[in-house]
Amino acid sequence: MKRLTSTRDILVHRERLRKEQATEKQTVVVCGGTGCETFGGSDLYKSLNRVIKDRGLKNKVLLKKTGCQGLCEKGPLVTLWPSNIFYRRVKESYAEKIIDETVGKGDVIQKLLYTDIQTREKVVHQEDVPFYKKQHRIVLRLNGVIAQDSIDEYIAAGGYSALEKVLEDMKPEQVVNEITDSGLRGRGGAGFPTGKKWEFVRNTTDSIKYVICNGDEGDPGAFMDRSVLEGNPHQVLEGMMIAAYAIGANRGYFYIRAEYPMAIKYVQTAIDQAKELGLLGENILGKGFGLDLEIKKGAGAFVCGEETSLIASIEGKRGMPRTRPPYPAISGLWGKPTCINNVETLANIPIIIEKGAGYYSSIGTKGSKGTKVFALAGKVRNTGLIEVPMGTTLREIIFEIGGGIAKGKKFKAAQIGGPSGGCVPEEYLDTPIDYESLKSIGAIMGSGGLVVMDEDTSMVEIARYFMGFCQDESCGKCPPCRIGTKKMLEKLTKIHDGKGCREDIEDLKVMANVTQTASLCGLGQTAPNPVLSTIRYFINEYEDLLKTGS
Amino acid sequence: MKKEATNRLAVDIRPTRKIVSSFGDVQESNLISILQELQDEYGYLPKAALKEVSRLMDVPLTRVFGIVTFYSQFSLVPKGKFTIKVCIGTACHVRGAEEVKTTIKQLLDVKEGETSADYMFTLESVACLGVCALGPVMVVGSSKKAAGCCDGQDGQTPPSGDKSYGHVKTEKIEGILESYSSDKE
Ligand SMILES: Cc1cc2nc3c(=O)[nH]c(=O)nc-3n(C[C@H](O)[C@H](O)[C@H](O)COP(=O)(O)O)c2cc1C
Ligand code: FES
């Protein structure tokens, strides 16, 4: 492959790829997301491949595999182009039927169609499935469209045109301003304005700076970042390149948790491909800007998602947090200014550059712009990966996109924000999803884990579960978190086992307060949230347990 | 468990040297990556290998141990041929992960983190495997670099040869485990 050495080169290259990829062929798309793979997507892919070969259709039918298409619960998913027929729960044994009947004769296989839960009618096209109707896909726009390991398809779909635009037409300050104007806020949890963070790093005078992509995704019950990294790694890479250009960094790291071997593999492939094309390395597209990227694997510690711990871990140390300030933007990796952003934050960047801050800020609410990807899981009918505009309500997400509670049970609570988040009861389901509204009801946006609970879930048990998690993952450096989480866990277990008394609840509140205010990092500061929110909204469940104990 | 006995067995130190030298001019920042490769190689981290790392890298052994004990990925004791990871993340938790774990514990007669007497299975729990939509989830993987685990052709099999099971039902677990025991050779 020839290296691209100018911005013109990439334009020419894209046109050539588009011509090459323009196809009259029928295309069979198999979802290669982890969910569909677990349900046998790989075997299905192999069978389809074999049938296509056996029938001598290699020249007429194109088979491809993409990243997660979202509706994991109903996997494996298959889409056919150009007819746009959408099949779900496709067993391997259907490979022949799909090729012979649907591809060959254009017949729709009724059994494989999605059934609308409300109307009981069969739905033929993906966009008509209620799960997809309410979504607005920006970050995930190419998931399910391009092959997950192909830089060619990414480029043909317009990929790396944002990089070309910033290198050709924009000064670093302009890039920073564009991101600030877009209103983008960090998707890793805290919601810090991304443009402002970049500006801090940009304004430091060090000659060495770093960018880091936070792909630790430790929040149990979340798989957004994984799906983006696996489904469309180049979009994150491009975001990182633009970040590096804007802040003046020439070196960057992907920190990805070891539990995600596929994500690591696809990102590594993407880095290698970009290098080969000359999109990484020195003098990118002949514009004098250079960048090298490398992956560091996490080693199974939740606290390493916290930025200062993550930095310690990349430095090869125990991943323990330190006090801030100084913030990493001033003194980060090896004491140098470091910009650390979440996967989804970075995946938004190319779109903002391409379509402009105005476009981006027209989506969402006053204080929260753009879209948010959620991992919808738990006791909801349609679990999976979704992307909605900020301001969508929890009710819309759970009942319209998610199709309501599974097995005809009653909704009890939505846990949003993971171990740092809170449980939202029925009466707040109409709260719009934005950073401030969620905070006001005792939850947080968090990274995007959304776990639905039904009437069978005990809220005291859930509080205990999260506290157990935080206690386990507390790094032990600061006493309020180390001791606070342990003591709270003891109290919660006591209450849960029916041995608690009223004072225990009061004690819990006091401990929660101390742990919140005195802990060193976000882990301890937010660990009490699930306890406080369950006490606030489900005090009756705590009280019921007290009664049985006495 | 026979972990003491196994630890006293002679450990071939050559792969350790090879791995450390493959990092070239090693810096302390490579320590975690080196330990990850060692664990892939040996299936766990033998003491002799750690001592060698400490010597070659000129890093105090206490620091090496500090890293090993901090990160849950590392193990100081040998693991079974297969590692079963039961997800206890939130989504799996509300869908019955605890019962899955209990069932496996009973079937293998082990506690969490332990290895079955025949060294076939090690039971671990992990917080979220990122397949939450399919909870409860468990993953069975070979601990060591098993030959032939990746067909590599279309590059679709996870590199570690892990197989994940979604919507795990407790009644099905025995059958799943048996399917592994039968390819004992
Ligand atoms: C205990 C703890 C765990 C965290 N885990 C993650 C994580 O898994 N992924 C992530 O992107 N941010 C995580 N964060 C937030 C990071 O510290 C940091 O704010 C974020 O990566 C910044 O990127 P953003 O501005 O793009 O959101 C965590 C924070 C804390 C306190
Ligand atoms: S909670 Fe089990 S895979 Fe995420």
Residue B147: pLDDT above 60? no
d(CA A152, CA A1): 11
Domains of chain A: 24-131 (3.40.30.10), 151-355 (3.40.50.11540), 375-454 (3.10.20.600), 459-548 (1.20.1440.230)
Query: Angle at the Cα of A361 (from A357 to A363), degrees rounded to 5?
Result: 135
Q: Tell if the CB–CB gap between B73 and A258 is shorter than 8 Å.
A: yes
- Summarize the confidence of residues A350-371 as an average pLDDT: 97
Q: Which of A89, A75, A82 is nearest to A36 (CA)?
A: A75
Ligand 1 pocket, residues with Cβ under 6 angstroms: A 186-190, 192, 214, 216-219, 303, 305-307, 340-342, 345, 447, 521-523
Biggest distance spanned by C-alpha atoms of chain B: 53
- Position B9 confidence tier, pLDDT thresholds 50, 70, 90: low
Q: Tell if the CB–CB gap between B70 and A475 is shorter than 8 Å.
A: yes
Please write the tens of the pLDDT for every residue from A520-530.
Answer: 999 999 999 99
d(CA A502, CA B162): 48
d(CA B57, CA B39): 17
d(CA A357, CA A89): 40
Q: Is B150 annotated as a binding residue?
A: no
Helix ranges (H only) for A224-305 are: 224-231, 233-247, 261-277
Tell me phi and psi for residue A293, to 5 degrees. Answer: -125, 150
**Which whole-number Å values give the CA distances from A428 to A395, A441, A506, A525, A527, in the listed order?**
9, 8, 25, 24, 22
Cis peptide before A76 (omega within 30 of 0): yes
Q: How many residues does chain A have?
A: 550
d(CA A77, CA A89): 6
Residue A430: pLDDT above 70? yes
Tell me the percentage of chain A whose pLDDT exceeds 90.
88
* Residue where the block lists tokens 């080969």: A276
d(CA A519, CA A422): 19
From atom 28 of ligand 1, which residue's Cα is the shortest distance away?
A306
d(CA B99, CA B82): 20
Instruction: Using CB atoms, pick whichever of B28, B133, B156 lies closest to residue A384.
Output: B133
pLDDT of residue B135: 87
Residue B143: pLDDT above 80? no
Residue type, A550: S
Q: Is B149 annotated as a binding residue?
A: no
Is the confidence metric ipTM above 0.90 for this complex?
Answer: no
Q: Tokens representing A237?
A: 């890479």
Q: Could you tell me which residues are beta bridge partners of residue A404? A: none
Question: Best of A229, A262, A455 to disrupt the B interface by mutation (most B CBs within 10 Å)?
Answer: A262
Please write the tens of the pLDDT for every residue from A42-75.
Answer: 999 999 999 999 999 999 999 999 999 999 889 9
**Which whole-number Å values give the CA distances from A193 to A189, A200, A526, in the listed order?**
12, 11, 20
- Position B41 confidence tier, pLDDT thresholds 50, 70, 90: very high
Instruction: Using CB atoms, pick whichever of A217, A219, A465 lies closest to residue B93.
Output: A465
pLDDT of residue B79: 87
Identify each DSSP E strand in A76-128 by its residue range: 78-81, 85-87, 114-115, 122-123
**Average pLDDT of chain B, as a whole number:** 83
Residue A130: pLDDT above 70? yes
**Average pLDDT of chain A, as a whole number:** 94
**Which whole-number Å values give the CA distances from B81 to A102, A271, B141, B148, B164, in the listed order?**
44, 33, 9, 15, 16
Q: Please report residues of A whose CB lies closer than 8 A to that of B73.
A: 258, 298-300
Q: Please report residues of A whose CB lies closer than 8 A to that of B130.
A: 34, 217, 222-223, 226-227, 259-260
pLDDT of residue A13: 96
Please write the tens of the pLDDT for every residue from A447-475.
Answer: 899 999 999 999 999 999 999 999 999 99
d(CA A340, CA A314): 12
Region for residue A371 given its phi and psi (left: phi exceeds 0; alpha: psi -120 to 50; beta: otherwise): beta
What residue spans in chain B does CATH classification 3.40.30.10 cover? 82-183
**Which whole-number Å values give the CA distances from A248 to A171, A234, A255, A285, A339, in the listed order?**
11, 20, 20, 16, 10
B154 touches chain A (CB under 8 A): yes
pLDDT of residue B150: 34
Please write the tens of the pLDDT for every residue from B99-140.
Answer: 999 999 999 999 998 999 988 999 998 878 778 888 899 999
Q: Using an 8 Å Cβ cutoff, are A448 and A187 in contact? A: yes
Residue B144: pLDDT above 80? no
Residue A543 host element (H or E): helix A539-549
Q: Could you tell me which residues are beta bridge partners of residue A125? A: A85
Contacts of A533 (CB under 8 A, 6+ apart): A421, A422, A423, A424, A442, A443
The Cβ-side half-sphere exposure at A289, using a 13 Å CA radius, reads: 23
Q: Is B92 annotated as a binding residue?
A: yes
Q: How many residues does chain B have?
A: 185
Contacts of A111 (CB under 8 A, 6+ apart): none
Please write the tens of the pLDDT for every residue from A314-348.
Answer: 999 999 999 999 999 999 999 999 999 999 999 99
Does domain B82-183 match CATH 3.40.50.9100? no
d(CA A20, CA A5): 21
pLDDT of residue A46: 96
Q: Tell if the CB–CB gap between B36 and A258 is shorter than 8 Å.
A: yes
Coil vs helix vs strand at B27:
coil
The full DSSP string for A203-239 is T---S--EEEEEE---STT--HHHHHHHH-HHHHHHH
Identify each DSSP E strand in B1-126 by its residue range: 82-87, 121-126
DSSP annotation of B75 reads -
Please write the tens of the pLDDT for every residue from A249-279.
Answer: 999 999 999 888 889 999 999 999 999 999 9
Coil vs helix vs strand at A196:
helix
Please indicate whether residue B138, judged by its CB atom, sits closer than 6 Å to ligand 2. no
pTM for the model stands at 0.93
Q: Count Cβ–Cβ pairs < 8 Å, chain A vs chain B.
A: 154
d(CA A51, CA A235): 33
